[in-house]
Amino acid sequence: MKRNIRPTIISSFAVFAILCTYLVLTQIKFSFDFQDFFPHGDEDYEFFLEFQENFEADDNFLLLAVESEPDIFDSTFLAKFHELTLRADTLLGVQGAQSLTTLKYPILKPPFFAMSVPVLHKDDPSRYAQDKEDILQDPRLVNNLISKDGKAVVLLIKNENQIPQDTANMLVTQLNEMVQSYDFKDYHLLGRANFMKELVEMQVRELTVSIIISVILTAIILSLLFQRMIGVTIAMTSIGLSLLFFAGVMSLFGRQFSALSALYPVMMSIVATSDVVHFLTKYVDELRHGKTKEAAIRVTIKDIGLATLLTSLTTAVGFLSLMTSKTPAIYDFGINAAAGVIIAYVTVLLLTSALLSYFDEDQIIKQGRGQAFWEGFMTWFYQYTKDNPKRIALVGSAFAAICLFGASMITTNYRLEANLPLNRKITADYLYFEEELVGFRPLEMAVSIHGDHEADDYEVMKEMLKIEEKMASYKDIEKVNSITTLYKTLNRAHNGNRVDEYKFPETKARFIKYQRSLKNLPPQTLDVLVSKDKKYARITSSVLDIGADNIKRISDELDVFINENIDSTIITAQQTGTSLMLDKNAEYIRKDLIYGLAVAVILIGVLMAVLFQNWRMVLISLVPNVFPLLVGAALLGYFNIELETSVSIIFAIIFGIAVDDTIHFLSKYKIARSEGNSLEEAMRITFVETGKAICLTTIILFFGFLVLLFSIHPPSITVGILISVTLVSALIGDLFLIPVLIRTFLDD
């Protein structure tokens, strides 16, 4: 590097750092949207969007459960809760609030409404005993607006469809403040707006913690490696600016940080650190061989610059393979991560080179007995692989078979709970509703009416009833509701509001009589259940968080039942809704994963072919990197870790990063051979000069990804452990398998 351009490079980076700091402070955005985890482009997703146009969203609600001892039937408690219900109705983004204290039973006498009576006579304690008995026998209310034991009452808040992030934050904040102004025993909150607020806060926390810990850990590792303040400072400056530039570019182009954001600083730190270690190690080696600083930098840029360019490209390709996913969250992560890798490479190449050229060897790194240790250690590896090729091949084949068996045990039976933060109120609240009330996962059935029939025809509803009764027969499906529910309510209302009369009218004549009564109901009551043209109807329900595979089993059984028992000339029914869209990912994860990795292998193979111009070298470079993929898959299978959206990205990360060490190893081998060395001498030189660097970078990678152990997001913890372990297996594969493959395929 010429002396006269070094100040220009350094000053340019300083200016860009100031710009990026401004962008990060003013433009950085965080968001969480369930639709980021829906399989866009899928036909069921397109149907889901059409369904939402005819009806409202199935997750436009907030549920607030408030507890009381010994039960809720206390005049003081009910007065406070009623006041809370009325106040909640005035909050920003709320379209309605309802609870037992505002709900009324209709009492009908033909042909008109005679009267309505409160479900709960909150102002008359003398009627509490009877109210309690009636309420706890009403299937419309139990597990919906009141718990089975009567110790918790629920405020149902309907918020606007697709509520914006800012509105969701404000709504949940104001609701929490409102509830806390009362002296309730305890309360629990569940709903889309709450997820949006709490999970964005988790993202901010995750990103902040991972940056801080990554920086501290990187500084410690580099201090142990170099033991010189200047060397550590140069490395930390390059790594820190890589992170800053990445965040600045993300902000500049309006890219939002999402559920996978905690991986960015970890990934950026270790990728940049790996590049820095290779640069510094090579530069110091060249100085030690007697070259001037300028000559050492030129050689370093030529040799390591090319190798790290290729490793950066292969890592980026690994991430870009995620673009084959139909899930926007994974698609965006792939693009962002690939951009981050390239940003780290450019920063390290230019800035590190410019800064290094000012300093001598002993200013950058402390030399000592460590060098002799590494030479001895790597020489042992070289000799072992030379003496035991058959043993290595046999053990490797046996281990691969064990891994393949473990991979066959992978499941996709993930639960929403597994994606919620550890030891946080939002998770405790979610579990409370799962155990004590109705869960969050909606299961919707879209009913299409055919021929001359309309949604409110008797024949149509009799067919719908078959589906509803089948859904209700599953213990994990609760709160089944449709337009037939209104007729059950009318039947009860026409019969003195008796509990045993909550059923669909037994005759068509009685049905027609009730049909006239529905005209007195507010239009919005029907709009959420029947389309305006009466050609579409909706069956709603909630399913417990029993796992995607288990829910898929129930869904398949429902489909079989509908095909065999429903008159398709009258209606057809199709499952849809938020829950189905989330679970639909389970069907795509494996397919997208295999397809994406296949694309990555092909593209990286092409890059290898361009670099080495030898198809045998391409084979040698790819085979060892299948090894860590098998290890990662085996760990998922043997430890029963569900392959869900967040975990599925580990294979792209593993393949993209693991191939880096392979490239450094083979590049050094190629250079050594081009200098006239024999195969064995070139192999020994490669072990001694490059073996240390790839061991050190693997150590950095191992501890770097273990930073995710400080996460409160369970999938992030899983990702950290899996990647750390599998990257160690990648190093083992490089050190043992590559020499055997080279001697087998390149022995001349």
In a domain, 555, yes or no: yes
Both 167 and 261 in one domain: the answer is: no
pLDDT of residue 429: 92
Angle between helical axes of 192-226 and 679-705 (0-180°, round to 10): 130
pTM of the model: 0.80
Q: Which of 19, 59, 546, 28 is nearest to 247 (CA)?
A: 28
Question: What is the pLDDT averaged over residues 630-637?
Answer: 88
In a domain, 684, yes or no: yes
In whole angstroms, give the CA distance from residue 14 to residue 36: 36
Instruction: State what percent of residues in the chain have pLDDT above 90.
Output: 12
Cis check for the bond before 111: say yes or no (omega within 30 of 0): yes
Both 213 and 233 in one domain: the answer is: no
* Whole-number average pLDDT of the chain: 83
Copy the structure tokens of residue 446: 């879209």
Q: Are 153 and 86 in contact (CB under 8 A)?
A: no
Both 512 and 623 in one domain: the answer is: no
Both 504 and 635 in one domain: the answer is: no
Both 89 and 180 in one domain: the answer is: yes
Both 390 and 474 in one domain: the answer is: no
Q: Which domain holds residue 207?
A: 61-105+119-159+163-226+425-437
Q: Which is more confident, 519 or 17?
A: 17
Q: Are 433 and 146 in contact (CB under 8 A)?
A: no
Lowest mean pLDDT among 33-47, 344-358, 504-518, 734-748: 33-47
* CA R_g for the chain: 32
In a domain, 608, yes or no: no
pLDDT band of residue 477 (cuts 50, 70, 90) is confident
pLDDT band of residue 620 (cuts 50, 70, 90) is confident
Q: Are 389 and 740 in contact (CB under 8 A)?
A: yes
Overall domain count for the chain: 4
In a domain, 46, yes or no: no
Copy the structure tokens of residue 570: 């009258």
Residue 475: which CATH number?
A: 3.30.70.1430
In whole angstroms, give the CA distance from residue 281 to residue 300: 9
Residue 291: which CATH number?
A: 1.20.1640.10
Q: pLDDT for 581-596, tens place per residue?
A: 777 776 677 676 677 6
Both 576 and 642 in one domain: the answer is: no
Q: Which of 472, 609, 458, 483 is nearest to 541 (CA)?
A: 472
Both 98 and 215 in one domain: the answer is: yes
pLDDT of residue 19: 93
Both 273 and 390 in one domain: the answer is: no
In whole angstroms, give the CA distance from residue 680 to residue 379: 12
Both 254 and 394 in one domain: the answer is: no
Question: What is the pLDDT averaged over residues 355-373?
Answer: 70
In a domain, 609, yes or no: no
> What are the helix and strand counts (H, E) for the chain?
26, 10
pLDDT band of residue 188 (cuts 50, 70, 90) is very high
In a domain, 152, yes or no: yes
In a domain, 493, yes or no: yes
Q: pLDDT for 398-432, tens place per residue?
A: 998 998 898 888 887 778 888 888 888 999 999 99
Lowest mean pLDDT among 140-154, 187-201, 319-333, 520-534: 520-534
Both 433 and 446 in one domain: the answer is: no
Both 638 and 742 in one domain: the answer is: yes
Q: Is the pLDDT of residue 600 over 80?
A: no
For residue 69, give the H/E element and its range. none
In a domain, 545, yes or no: yes
Specify which residues 617 forms β-bridges with. none
